[in-house]
Amino acid sequence: MTSIQPDLRREPLRYRLKAFFSKPANLILLAFLIALTVLSLFPMITMLTNMFTVHAGTEKKMLRISVGSWTMNHFQMLFADREWSQANFWTPLLNSLIVASGSGLLGILIGGTVAWFITRSDLKCKKFISAVFVFPYMMPAWTLALFWTNMFQNSKVGGGVVGMMESLFGLCMPEWFVFGLFPMIMVIGLHYSPFAYLLIGGILKNMDATLEESATILKASRFTIIRRVTIPIVMPAILSTFLLIFSSGFASYTVPVFLGSATRTFTLSTKMRALIQAGYEGQGYIIAFVSILLGTLILGVNQYFTGKRKSFTTVTGKSGQVSLVKLRGANGVISAVLILLTLFFAIMPLVSFALESVIKQPGNYSFSNMTLDFWIGTEASAYETGMPDGILMNSTMWMGLFRQVGLALAVAMIVGTCGMLIGYACVRRRGSWLSQIVENLAFFPYLMPAMAFGTIYLAVATSASFKWMYGSFFLLGLVASVKFLPFASRSGVNSMMQIAPEIEEAATIFGVPWVARMRRILFPIQKSAIISGYLLPVINVMREVALFTLLVPYPRYLLTTMLFSFNETGYAQYGSAVTLLIILIIIAINTLVNKLTGASFDKGIGG
Amino acid sequence: MPQIILEHVNKRFDKFVAVDDLNLVIEDRGFVTLLGPSGCGKTTTLRMIAGLETPTSGRILIDGVPVYDSEKGINLPPNKRDIGFLFQNYALWPHMTVYQNIAFGLEMLKWDKKKIEARVDEMLKLLKIEQFVKRYPAELSGGQQQRVAIARTLAPSPRVLFMDEPLSNLDAKLRGEMRTELKRLHTDTNSTFVYVTHDQLEAMTLSTQVCLMETGVLQQYAPPLEIYNKPANIFVASFVGNPTMNFIPAKVKKIDRATVDLEMLGKTAQFVSSANIIRLGEDALVGVRPEFLPIREGGKLSASIYSTLPAGMETTVKASCGDTMLTSVVFGSVDYAVDAQVNMDVVGSSIVLFDKKTNRNVGVGTLTID
């Protein structure tokens, strides 16, 4: 009797395991569970321990204890030392919070207003405004920052370089307008306003017009309707948009670097890097940890708001028959202002970079001051430009571009494939604890500001057992893959949700093997979603700076980090040239995406 | 008292004509149904009367006041028309509780709080939704949401109530219940109802007048039974009534005032109309409602059973008579074997004769088959 019992217990388990592994979705989930745990939790733990250990260099010299020994000194210094604490933690934190909330409000104000005009009024030239308005969102945020300095810097502030406004109109803006928190808020807010426009506009567009019409019939005025009906209904969306812009603004590194360096205005991200570069790694890691905590908190708040019981649910009705608000006389003025503003922020940066990249003496826009040396100059003109040759003639630049493109393609391959597989597996096993864990793990890197994420991997790469990784192309690829996975896995899940399981099951009944089912049925159906899943990471990598800046072996290793070194060393023309190059590449990729998938950023909102 | 008049109302979306030269008088305290297949312009008509849509041309008067006049440039917004509107998808505000939803319109009228409370209570009782007063719409079932929507619409006591397919999102059983209640509400509230539906049964059972439309053109505007018994044309005859009327092709042999000699189903027949017959060509269609085509022994028409669909209370029988498929409804449950031979008769005085070319009704009367 006793010999049978263990068998009885063992058999079901064996069968259960066999059944479990016979489903490809389970295998995929298990593989990702292991990989993602290692790739996000392990660095996290490394970072945590680094907050309490002594690093070589400044820390060792200061503390006079051996590298790697435990210490609470980083915390003491960052929080207990009053002056140091104020300068290196509290002020940057406050600045970050001001920039984040300011840009969140600004982004919503601009994006929401435009969204309302486009979806709810009879504004002229809607299609044009909508298309041009979202354009700046494609460009990296720092291009707008660079544009801002190009426009407004003047002889009285910062390095005293003459900008366009001064040169053309003799306009000298005060320092607070050119550098510091105000321009940071303006730039980040403007950069993310298309994002707010897309989210709020999407909801306004889908929101049933009868909700507003029924209020009209009950004799509510237009203003009352906006206040009592429209805004409360889109409020959860507005809040979550605010929080997303807030967290992006909080994590932003490049914009504060461009606009804060001149006045030494630090945010947490720029402080993090400054501390690490100054040899205070431990404190840098603490700041990274604080940023991650805040990111998590913000996302939690977001989930709370979007999950409430009176939350907005789309009820499809006859909303095609929405009656648009007539702007009457104001129509021409409002559309003209919007067109001018959108054109200014979409087209002017390109013009400005093109101009800045061909003038010898900054601030002098006369024709005699122009040269193409910064683009195609050779050794002969080195004396005038201060560099051996123009960027198109420079092998370092080409190597940087080559590496960046290579990195982008490699990351796209990895991220696109992983996102799709995660999407497939999570949707097929929806509701199981495994799929929930994997989905959350894949989303986890989103919570971490890019700078903090780079910091974590720096901590790993500088640890003894992973020294070989430091400064390698492999490390950059790995970091970028993990960091950009959240978007890919989200879009993978969303696109797979559209396919009813019966479609795959019908093939399973015919005995079609899994690989063939994927290749012949699921991929073709979701072709455009999958293509954009592969192409989005390309754009992300092409414009990423913060993630790579700590991890590249030397600043000119990649095109984007090279741009920063140009800027720090004062070669503004080269910086502008490289920026223009990057923007053009991104536009080219985006056009390719549109052509291949027929999807555009503002699809379905404008007109 | 509100009487609604539409004069030469047109609505075009670009080149597509949604409503074509519509003339309509909706009597005070009537229950008028705008009936028709989807895309026939009925919702557009309703929205134009309510002011949610602007006609391309024409004139609309509510209670003698022109609310829209293309020539004089008058176009009152919906909130100035003193109306109520019940939307197909209820359009309840998801961020307000049931109470807030119902009270909103009263707040807009600047009622004082006590009065609002009393009125909301009254509405809650009337629609039997007192227990949901603190809930949000998302927490209610479809039927409950529907009741809240009705309460919200009725609260300010509009003198005209517009309803756009209000029952189409409910399941069959609830739809039946709400139908009864709507009819009851109509008497209780003493107001004019204008109701859009594509369900002919709803139109038949609820309304005092049915306005049947097709592709933007008014087909017939009459009380439901008149529509049923004296359809103006073949479209109306086939749209109203379930199962559909039989249309039996016939050759016209001789017309003599109110009498027509016909050749149909391989037999000769005589149609006697209640009035003189004019505008009838060579080809005609004889319209016979299924209930006027009983199956009985000794019937003049012989047919073979195609299929039998017993529904308990009545049975629908399809039988072929030569090349023509005929539908008959028999009271009670009967079952016929497939291909069984039966005899049928045409009875009653509500047989309709249509001209095949113009599709028009040329006479209603009796048919005797020789």
Whether omega before B243 lies within 30 degrees of 0, making that bond cis, reads yes
Q: Are B94 and A313 an interchain contact pair (Cβ–Cβ within 8 Å)? A: yes
| pLDDT computed for residue A62 by the predictor | 80
Let me know: does A470 contact A464? Beta carbons within 8 Å. Answer: no
Q: Is A3 part of a structural domain of the chain?
A: no
Q: Which two tokens stand for residue A335?
A: 């559309």
Q: Is A402 part of a structural domain of the chain?
A: yes
Interface mutation target, options A122, A218, A228, A321, chain B, most CBs of B under 10 Å:
A218
Q: What is the CATH number of the domain that holds A534?
A: 1.10.3720.10
Would you say residue B276 has pLDDT above 50?
yes
A254 and A395 share one domain: no
Q: From A229, which residue of chain B is nearest by alpha-carbon distance?
A: B93
Highest-scoring range by mean pLDDT, A167-181, A336-350, A562-576, B228-242: B228-242
Residue of B53, B78, B79 with shortest CB distance to A321? B53
Q: Is A325 part of a structural domain of the chain?
A: no
Residue of A211, A216, A232 with shortest CB distance to B79? A216
Q: Is the pTM of this model over 0.90?
A: no
Secondary structure class of B217 (helix, strand, coil): strand
A291 and A392 share one domain: no
Q: Which two tokens stand for residue A28?
A: 């995929």
Q: From B101, which residue of chain A is nearest by alpha-carbon distance?
A: A215
A295 and A152 share one domain: yes
Taking contacts as CB-CB distances below 8 angstroms, the residues of chain B near A237 are none
Let me know: does A198 contact A136? Beta carbons within 8 Å. Answer: no
**Domain end: A265, A288, A311, which one?**
A311
Q: Residue range A507-519: average pLDDT?
A: 81
Taking contacts as CB-CB distances below 8 angstroms, the residues of chain B near A233 are 93-95
Nearest CA among A149, A207, A177 for reference residue A352: A149
Supply the DSSP symbol for A324. Answer: P
Cα of B238 to nearest chain A Cα, Å: 28
Q: Which residues pair with B233 in a beta bridge?
A: B360
Tens digit of each residue's pLDDT (9 = 90 or more) over A52-102: 888 877 887 787 787 778 888 888 888 888 888 898 999 999 999 999 999
Looking at chain A, the whole-number percentage of residues with pLDDT higher than 70 is: 90
Query: Cα–Cα–Cα angle for B234, B239, B242, nearest 5°?
Result: 120
Interface mutation target, options B13, B16, B104, chain A, most CBs of A under 10 Å:
B104
| pLDDT computed for residue A520 by the predictor | 81
A262 and A388 share one domain: no
HSE of B294, CA atoms in CB hemisphere, 13 A: 8
Gap between the Cα atoms of B110 and B113, Å rounded? 9
Q: Residue range A98-113: average pLDDT?
A: 94
A296 and A380 share one domain: no
| pLDDT computed for residue A316 by the predictor | 41
Would you say residue A559 has pLDDT above 90?
no
Q: Is A520 part of a structural domain of the chain?
A: yes
Average pLDDT of chain A, as a whole number: 81
Interface mutation target, options B52, B161, B165, B169, chain A, most CBs of A under 10 Å:
B52
A493 and A598 share one domain: yes
Gap between the Cα atoms of A598 and A604, Å rounded? 12
Taking contacts as CB-CB distances below 8 angstroms, the residues of chain A near B50 are 217
Gap between the Cα atoms of B369 and A417, Å rounded? 77
DSSP per-residue codes, B29-98:
T-EEEEE-STTSSHHHHHHHHHTSS--SEEEEEETTEEEEETTTTEE--GGGS-EEEE-TT----TTS-H
Q: From B49, which residue of chain A is nearest by alpha-carbon distance?
A: A217
Let me know: does A544 contact A560? Beta carbons within 8 Å. Answer: yes
Q: Which two tokens stand for residue A586?
A: 């991104």
Gap between the Cα atoms of A75 and A94, Å rounded? 19
Let me know: does A525 contact A504? Beta carbons within 8 Å. Answer: no
**Domain end: A287, A311, A335, which one?**
A311
Q: Are A317 and B91 an interchain contact pair (Cβ–Cβ within 8 Å)? A: yes
Taking contacts as CB-CB distances below 8 angstroms, the residues of chain B near A224 are 108
Angstrom CA distances, A88 to A58, A146, A268, A400, stand at: 16, 25, 8, 33
Q: Residue range A570-598: average pLDDT?
A: 80
**How many domains in chain A?**
2
Number of A–B residue contacts, CB under 8 Å: 87
A283 and A398 share one domain: no
**Domain end: A311, A330, A346, which one?**
A311
What is the total residue count of chain B?
A: 370
Q: Are B93 and A217 an interchain contact pair (Cβ–Cβ within 8 Å)? A: no
A437 and A304 share one domain: no
Tens digit of each residue's pLDDT (9 = 90 or more) over B277-310: 888 888 999 999 999 999 988 888 999 999 999 9
H or E stretch at B109: none
Gap between the Cα atoms of A506 and A510, Å rounded? 7
Domains defined for chain B, CATH in brackets: 4-237 (3.40.50.300), 246-369 (2.40.50.140)
Gap between the Cα atoms of B59 and B62, Å rounded? 10
pLDDT tier, A306 (very low <50, low <70, confident <90, very high otherwise): low
| pLDDT computed for residue A17 by the predictor | 80
Q: Is A409 part of a structural domain of the chain?
A: yes
Q: Is A215 part of a structural domain of the chain?
A: yes
Q: Is A131 part of a structural domain of the chain?
A: yes
Domain with A205, as residue range(s), is 89-311
| pLDDT computed for residue B112 by the predictor | 92
Gap between the Cα atoms of A153 and B29, Å rounded? 73
Let me know: does B319 contact B306? Beta carbons within 8 Å. Answer: yes
Nearest CA among B23, B30, B22, B36 for reference residue B223: B30
Q: Is A339 part of a structural domain of the chain?
A: no
A472 and A570 share one domain: yes
A410 and A479 share one domain: yes
| pLDDT computed for residue A515 by the predictor | 85
Would you say residue A151 has pLDDT above 80?
yes
Interface mutation target, options A213, A217, A308, chain B, most CBs of B under 10 Å:
A217
HSE of A169, CA atoms in CB hemisphere, 13 A: 8
Q: Are A313 and B138 an interchain contact pair (Cβ–Cβ within 8 Å)? A: yes
Tens digit of each residue's pLDDT (9 = 90 or more) over A372-393: 777 776 665 554 555 566 777 7
Q: Which residues pair with B251 in a beta bridge?
A: B263, B283
**First-to-last CA distance in chain B?**
55
Tens digit of each residue's pLDDT (9 = 90 or more) over B113-172: 999 999 999 999 888 889 999 998 888 888 889 889 989 988 888 888 999 888 887 788
Gap between the Cα atoms of A101 and A97, Å rounded? 6
Gap between the Cα atoms of A386 and A369, Å rounded? 16
A421 and A527 share one domain: yes
Would you say residue A10 has pLDDT above 70?
no
Gap between the Cα atoms of A220 and A230, Å rounded? 12
Average pLDDT of chain B, as a whole number: 90
Cβ neighbours for A534, distance < 8 A, ≥ 6 positions apart: A412, A413, A415, A416
pLDDT tier, B193 (very low <50, low <70, confident <90, very high otherwise): very high
Would you say residue B219 has pLDDT above 80?
yes
A257 and A377 share one domain: no
| pLDDT computed for residue A600 by the predictor | 56
Nearest CA among A500, A488, A580 for reference residue A543: A580
Residue of A217, A224, A309 with shortest CB distance to B138? A309
- Rg over alpha carbons for chain B, rounded to the nearest Å, is 25
| pLDDT computed for residue B355 by the predictor | 93
Residue of B93, B105, B139 with shortest CB distance to A233? B93
Gap between the Cα atoms of B287 and A414, Å rounded? 70
